[in-house]
Amino acid sequence: MRTTTYTQHSCTVHEHRLDVPLDHARPLGPDNPTIGLFAREIVRPGGEQLPHLLFLQGGPGGKSPRQGDFRDGWIGRALEDYRVVLMDQRGTGQSTRMDAQALADLPDDRARADRLMLFRQDQIVRDAEALRHHITGGATWTTLGQSFGGFITLSYLSLAPEGLEASLITGGLPGLVHVDDIYRQTFAATAARNRAYLARHPGDEQTIREIAAHLHGTEELLPTGERLSPERFRMIGMGLGMQTRTDLLHFLLEGPWTHVRGERRLSSEFLDEVAAEVAMAPMYGVLQEAIYAGATPDLAGTATAWSADRLAEETPGFAKGADPLDTSEPYHLTGEHMMRRVFDEDPGLAPLAGVADALAERSDWPAVYLPEALAAVETPVVAAVYYDDMFVPRDLSLDTAAAVRGARVWVTNEYQHDGLRASSGKVLGRLLDMLHD
């Protein structure tokens, strides 16, 4: 491991770089090389003897937080009790990146899908274990998993509980069921969030419908050059599930129009803002459904088969071909639902369309959660479950918590999915109090 150290706002920062196998289940060799893993360890003044806390970032495809002053927010609260380790999960940040360029040297989409299968929860757990041995000398550490980071935590508890002192989870207790059962609930939750938003801003419904209808018949281009479709526009609804972004959605919609030679068009400012809202990391897009595939041994042999795309037709308000001006039916913004057509429309995802199709068809997924191991785990587990979580269904989270031995849950309606960040340390403080109670 290679480590560099510096001081930032009185905190000592160690930047660790470590080589790990691409596939931890196989011997190293020409077809199983090493990849780079990066982690940033933050130590407050006087905190050199504190235990370690590993933060597992949401995603998939999200790098660890970059924060100007680590003494702020939830990281500042964590530094009171821990040395905080911010790991860039494989494929993200300063770890070896995974995108269309990184896959270009592989011969076909099947081979690329094989590679991407190695970027799910189980391999991230093995990376974390390799990092733990180098940073702590083998001592256990505590994990804090946000959203997808909670999914990784359940995999950690299944595959390597011996490395864990305790685990904290925020908005990330995954359902141990097929992705169809998850998305039926997230579509319903997204519909509810649409209704709640429009109850606060009723005038925005007409704006949303008019923009979507306009996009059906008029070519409007995003700054990246592609045409904005009604379905891609509806993806701005992702912000409905975030405490820190719901209000910003209203500001986005407050003035979308301009006139060009007497014709009503979407303004360049609005198109710029929409582009920023719907942009996504390639790994997020291509792995969004894959993280749910074959989750447990009982689900072996099942495929995701473009679950979100199929189930959109089941829930009123989400049908892809709906007429936005037909007010007899709801017309909802969408959430964390990857529709197949976005891979034809987003220039960042288009090179991965064939890979995404191959992943959607696969049924040979290794299980990332082991219910028998979870039922026997001795690691203390505490979790925040958000009552109206749009992305991780409350009922399924509670079912999972009941399947984890000794897990304790705080159910709250004070926060949305981003409560860890939005609460400035209050959510983390509550979980630490539960852990030590």
List residues with catalytic annotation: 147, 364, 417
pLDDT digits (tens, 9 = 90+) for 82-111: 999 999 999 999 999 988 888 998 999 999
> What per-residue confidence (pLDDT) applies to 281?
87
Domain final position from 321, 341, 361: 361
> Do 49 and 164 share a domain, yes or no?
yes
- If one counts the domains in the chain, the total is 2
Q: Are residues 13 and 119 in the same domain?
A: yes
Measured between alpha carbons, how far is 148 from 26 in angstroms, rounded to an integer?
A: 25
* Whether residue 135 sits in one domain with residue 80: yes
Judge if 260 and 400 occupy the same domain: no
What pLDDT is recorded for position 243? 84
Q: How many helices (H) and strands (E) does the chain have?
A: 18, 11
Residue with tokens 């587990």: 381
Q: What is the pLDDT of residue 246?
A: 83
Q: How far apart are CA 261 and CA 422, in angstroms?
A: 44
Q: Which domain holds residue 133?
A: 2-176+369-436
Would you say the C-alpha torsion 338, 344, 349, 352 has a positive or negative sign?
Answer: positive
For residue 141, give the DSSP letter: E
- Taking the C-alpha atoms of residue 208 and residue 327, their distance in angstroms, rounded to an integer, is 12
SS3 state at 99: coil
Same domain, 324 and 381: no
User: Do 25 and 146 belong together in one domain?
Assistant: yes
Domain check: are 224 and 91 in the same one? no
Same domain? For 203 and 71 the reply is no
* Location of structure tokens 């964590």: 78
- Give the domain-ending residue among 361, 382, 415: 361
Nearest residue to 149 (alpha-carbon basis) of 87, 238, 93, 76: 87
Tokens linked to 194: 């649409």
Task: Find out whether 353 and 304 touch, Cβ atoms under 8 Å.
Answer: no
Same domain? 420 vs 432: yes
* Statement to judge: residues 260 and 328 lie in one domain: yes
Positions of the chain with pLDDT lower than 50, given as ranges: none
Question: Residue 35: enclosing H or E segment and its boundaries?
Answer: strand 34-43
pTM assigned to the model: 0.96
Q: Are residues 32 and 141 in the same domain?
A: yes
Of 342, 361, 380, the last residue of a domain is: 361
> Looking at the structure, do residues 388 and 409 belong to the same domain, yes or no?
yes
Asked if residues 353 and 292 have their Cβ atoms less than 8 Å apart, the reply is no
The one-character DSSP state at 1 is -
Helix (H) or strand (E) holding 179: helix 179-200
